Each structure stands twice: as C-alpha cells, then as structure tokens.
Amino acid sequence: MATASDRKLPNILITGTPGTGKTTTCELLAIATGLNNINVGTIVKEKECHEGIDEKFDAFILDEDKLVDEMEDMMSAGGNIVDFHSCDFFPERWFDLVVVLRTYNEILYPRLEKRGYKQHKIEENIEAEIMQVVLEEARESYKPEIVIELMSNTVEEMEDNVNKIEEWVENYKATHQ
C-alpha cells in the first residue's frame, strides 16, 4: 500500500461548510491538474454508503466504514482530489494536503438560500462556519502542516486558490518522482 511519502501523485482533500465552493473549486482544479476528482457525496449515494436520510437535515446518515472501503483502492493509488464537507473519519494517511475553504456569512447565507436549503439547515451551516467547525475538525484530524485555510468569497479568490493548489501539485510531482 502506498504511503504518503511514496505516492507519485498526491491526494488532496477540499473540505469546508456546504456552500463554500468545494465542488466548483475541485472541478476547476481537476481540469488544471489532471488529477481525478472524487465527489464523496456522489459515492455515498451511488454505492449506498449510508443508513437512510436524516429527515430534519435532509442529509444522509453516513456509513463511514463502507465509504472508506469504497474509496480505499482509489486513494491508495494516489492522484485524487476529494470533495467533502467533513473529514474526521477518513484515514489520516490518505491525504498529502487538506484545504479548508472559508466564506463570510453574508456571502454564504445567500448561496445556501439560492440552493433551496430549509431555514434551519441554512442556520445550522452558518453557525458551523462561524464556529469554524470544519477547520477545527481538519486540524484535529491531520498534521497541522498539511492543513491550509483559504478564503472563498469571490470568483477571483477561487481562481487564486486553484492556482495556489496547482502550484503545490507541481511541486509535489517534482519532488516525488
């Protein structure tokens, strides 16, 4: 099994509160780098890595073990960009870089409204963003030196983020041949 140090291509986790721009960023990053884009939400649905739906929050109740099993082969091979809103149950050894996207409330709120989220789900997510829940989770789950926080309020910031991560990938490739 490839470990963090001998993977020729890196695995990158893009995480953050819903609406911070994970999926858009991952899609741009996959085009820029040629890395494989894994939308975890899609795997959860298609491979049924869940135990039904939490009615109150309109969200799947994850079967984390099944999900990790489903992803293991791809992750061991390296070269993946992983898009998910939580990160504490993934094996630590999977990731070489963990990016936490952040968005100001006044920008995040209308994004979630536009998405048609119920009021209490919007509030839950806004509160999570204020409390830095995902950032704290990332810092507790991975070595601090691989966790970076990037602002994602504007299209310009998103483009900067993609460029920055692309540079990081190029550097990784050059030093892991």
- Candidates 100, 152, 162, 169; binder of ligand ADP (CB under 6 A) is 152
Q: Could you tell me where the beta strands, DSSP code E, fall in the chain? A: 11-16, 36-39, 50-54, 59-62, 80-83, 97-102, 147-151
Stretch 4-63 residues interacting with Mn ion (CB under 5 A): 22-23
CB 163 within 8 A of CB 6: no
* 155 in contact with ligand ADP (CB under 6 A): yes
Nearest residue to Mn ion, using CB?
23
Q: Nearest Cα to 151, choosing from 82, 83, 104, 85? A: 104
Stretch 54-113 residues interacting with ligand ADP (CB under 6 A): 111
- Candidates 9, 11, 13, 18; binder of ligand ADP (CB under 6 A) is 18
Q: Is 78 annotated as a binding residue?
A: no
Residue 78's binding partner among ligand ADP, Mn ion, none (Cβ under 5 to 8 angstroms by kind) is none
Rounded (to 5) percent helix, strand, coil in the chain: 50, 20, 30
Nearest approach, Cβ of residue 162 and ligand ADP (Å): 10
* Alpha carbon distance 136, 132 (integer Å): 6
Handedness of CA 94, 40, 16, 21 (dihedral sign): positive
- Binding-site annotation: residue ranges for ATP: 19, 21-24, 115
Residues within the interface to ligand ADP (CB under 6 A)? 16, 18-24, 111, 152-155, 157-158
Residues within the interface to Mn ion (CB under 5 A)? 22-23
